[in-house]
Amino acid sequence: MTPRRLLLLTAVPLASAALVLAATLHTLPSYADDDDHVRARLLRERGEIMSLEQIAGRARAIRAGKLIDIELERKHGAWRYEVELLDPEGRVWEIDLDARTGEVLKLERDD
């Protein structure tokens, strides 16, 4: 077997496998995002959490400003929304709200 043929028999399959692996790893975060959206929708439909619109309104009622980010996460066995808001003076606030009731769990300036 010639060195060129040996190279083709080993390098091409390895390169192909690396490309397939890279493509698979690249798509994993999008599946996680899809799962998060599905989970949030199911929790909302079951009445376990408030809607995003309700939480956004609640956060704006607590602190005036522009919403920067809203995340739903589970901490200490309960769902909570972590809201980041930019106030008119340019300060960033973090507001943690109970996802079921909208109760304020934390309100602090995010320095």
Q: 105: which 2 tokens? A: 């769990």
Residue boundaries of the structural domains of the chain: 1-48, 49-109
Which of 3.30.530.20, 3.30.1370.60, 3.10.450.40, 3.30.379.10 would CATH assign to domain 49-109? 3.10.450.40
pLDDT digits (tens, 9 = 90+) for 50-81: 999 999 999 999 999 999 999 999 999 999 99
| Averaged pLDDT, 22-49 | 69
Residue 33 phi, psi (nearest 5): -60, -45
Over 80: is that where the pLDDT of 106 sits? Answer: yes
Q: Which of the 8 DSSP states describes residue 25?
A: H
